[in-house]
């Protein structure tokens, strides 16, 4: 039987349903600029009808649940591309700075110092008896050694900066893991009551995406609503987040002997990321190490080649020449202390009998400039190749970065079309829900008028 109370209940249910719909729309509008927020929707459905002749009579509407609009498959794909972008972002940033610093140092300081070094020997060959010219050779050699040492110091300092940056990123990753584990617990606790933890799920997805920027990860949903997160290590996949627990990564130099480059570890086992900033850092360290190796090879070849030729000559006293340079690498190259203190010990002559006017050995050292002593290349060519190789890597990093940046942008735009807040749509919904709410309120006022007439006016004569 249809009753006035039943009609009142229908209106009341509609009021509640459209209040929820309006509140959800307001929540969407309020979070239109919130990072990671997904648009929510109140799902409205008709309530169970009442049996009545000649058929069922509807009993109104209710908000059954509030859902967030999200595509899990798209999220997973975006995480993969964000990891790739993270790697090449890191390499682009590092190689750009490294190429600039090394290019200025090698094409400028070292190249100029090397050219002046050869020229000084060339001049000494014309006047080997002149102590002033010999002093110039020592001065130019010291300038060249200083140039090598300065670049090596820059690379060492660059490595320290990379280590510090990597440590900071590992700390960020640990923070994200802790937040994900805590959100797993909070979501479980809230949804255990039958409620929807939509906002918390958004925050968790954001933390996972930030973590994916640092390394490729595997995300596995659990029956209780939690998300487990694993990362690849040298010993296989290991948990960063397992249910309500998180596991911290460490950052240190674990090489034996230590090589000065930090590595990421989890439970004492090296993390072997295939993408993300961690992979970028690993490549950065490899590039710096390769650059230092090439620079050391260049300096070592210079030292050995000049020393070998210098040992064939004779100084101003008619004594056989010894080493001109000391050291073995860019870090410790220097002029031999005895030669530095007494330029007369420079072996410019190619025979004892030719002292002091014979400068043929000095001419031979000057001729090293054009000799292919570095794997089929001259020392000057080797210096140029060092910069060219680094520039090639920098260009590749820029191209890869641009490709992945475009891919991520397009995919995020696609996600935004699904999950983002469209203000025009939300305002349209707000007007529709407002009208529906007003209609529900009119139902109640209409029934109120009906009851007023029945209670206060029926049965009174003359009314």
* b (16+ CB within 10 A) / e for 128-165: bbbeebbebbbbbbbbbbebbbebbeebeebbeebbeb
Range list of H helices, 57-197? 72-103, 111-126, 131-191
Q: What kind and span of H or E run contains 240?
A: strand 236-242
- Count of H-run helices and E-run strands, the chain: 10, 11
Are 348 and 313 in contact by the 8 Å Cβ rule? The answer is: yes
Tens of pLDDT, residue by residue over 197-233, are 999 999 999 999 999 999 999 999 999 999 999 999 9
Q: Which DSSP category does 453 fall into?
A: I
Nearest to 99 by CA among 265, 234, 287, 245: 287
Alpha carbons 204 and 240: distance in angstroms, whole number: 14
Are 368 and 306 in contact by the 8 Å Cβ rule? The answer is: yes
pLDDT at 459: 59
Please report how the helices 131-191 and 111-126 are oriented relative to each other, as an axis angle in degrees rounded to 10.
170
**Longest CA span, the chain:** 152
% residues pLDDT > 70 (the chain): 98
Nearest to 125 by CA among 288, 357, 431, 433: 357
pLDDT at 135: 97
DSSP 171-232: HHHHHHHHHHHHHHHHHHHHHTTT---HHHHHHHHHHHHHHHHHS-EEEEE-TTS-EEEEEE
pLDDT at 356: 85
Alpha carbons 435 and 441: distance in angstroms, whole number: 10
Write out the chain's pLDDT in tens, 463 residues: 567 778 888 889 999 999 999 999 999 999 999 999 999 999 999 988 887 777 778 888 989 999 999 999 999 999 999 999 999 999 999 999 998 888 777 767 899 999 999 999 999 999 999 999 999 999 999 999 999 999 999 999 999 999 999 999 999 999 999 999 999 999 999 999 988 999 999 999 999 999 999 999 999 999 999 999 999 999 999 999 999 999 999 999 888 777 889 999 999 999 999 999 999 999 999 999 999 999 999 999 999 999 999 999 999 999 999 999 999 999 999 999 999 999 999 999 999 887 788 999 999 999 999 999 998 899 999 988 888 899 999 999 999 999 999 999 999 999 999 999 999 999 999 999 999 989 988 988 888 788 877 777 775 555 5
Count the Cβ atoms, other than its own, within 10 Å of residue 298. Answer: 23
Are 233 and 271 in contact by the 8 Å Cβ rule? The answer is: yes
């Amino acid at each position: 039987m249809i009753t006035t109370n039943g009609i009142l209940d229908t209106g009341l249910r509609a009021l509640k349903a459209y209040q929820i719909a309006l509140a959800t729309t307001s929540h969407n509008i309020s979070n239109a600029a919130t990072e990671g927020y997904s648009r929510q929707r109140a799902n409205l459905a008709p309530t169970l009808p009442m049996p009545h002749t000649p058929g069922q009579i509807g009993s109104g509407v209710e908000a059954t649940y509030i859902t967030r609009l999200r595509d899990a498959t798209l999220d997973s794909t975006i995480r993969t591309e964000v990891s790739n972008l993270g790697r090449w972002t890191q390499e682009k940033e590092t190689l750009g700075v490294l190429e600039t610093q090394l290019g200025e140092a090698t094409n400028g300081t070292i190249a100029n110092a090397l050219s002046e070094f050869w020229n000084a020997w060339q001049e000494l060959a014309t006047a080997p008896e002149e102590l002033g010219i010999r002093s110039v050779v020592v001065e130019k050699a010291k300038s060249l050694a200083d140039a090598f040492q300065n670049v090596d110091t820059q690379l060492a300092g660059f490595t320290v900066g990379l280590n510090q940056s990597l440590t900071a990123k590992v700390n960020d990753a640990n923070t994200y893991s802790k937040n994900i584990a805590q959100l797993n617990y909070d979501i479980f606790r809230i949804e255990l009551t039958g409620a929807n933890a939509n906002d918390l799920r958004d925050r968790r997805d954001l933390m996972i995406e930030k973590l994916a920027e640092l390394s490729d990860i595997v995300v596995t949903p659990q029956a209780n609503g939690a998300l487990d997160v694993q990362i690849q290590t040298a010993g296989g996949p290991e948990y960063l987040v397992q249910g309500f627990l998180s596991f911290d990564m460490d950052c240190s130099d674990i090489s034996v002997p230590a090589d000065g480059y930090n590595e990421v570890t989890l439970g004492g086992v090296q993390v072997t990321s295939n993408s993300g900033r961690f992979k970028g850092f690993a490549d950065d360290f490899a590039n710096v190490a390769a650059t230092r190796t090439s620079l050391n090879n260049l300096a070592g070849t210079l030292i050995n080649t000049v020393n070998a030729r210098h040992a064939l000559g004779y100084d101003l006293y008619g004594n056989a020449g010894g080493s001109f340079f000391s050291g073995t690498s860019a870090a410790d190259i220097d002029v031999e202390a005895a030669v530095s203190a007494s330029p007369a010990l420079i072996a410019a002559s190619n025979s004892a009998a030719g002292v002091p006017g014979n400068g043929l050995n000095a001419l031979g050292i000057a001729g090293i400039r054009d000799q292919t002593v570095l794997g089929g290349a001259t020392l000057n060519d080797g210096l140029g190749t060092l910069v060219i190789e680094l520039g090639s890597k920098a260009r590749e990093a820029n191209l890869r970065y641009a490709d992945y940046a475009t891919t991520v942008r397009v995919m995020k735009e696609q996600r935004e079309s699904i999950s983002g807040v469209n203000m025009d749509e939300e305002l349209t919904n707000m007007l529709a829900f407002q009208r529906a709410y007003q209609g529900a309120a009119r139902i109640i006022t209409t029934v109120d008028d009906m009851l007023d007439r029945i209670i206060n006016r029926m049965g009174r004569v003359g009314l």
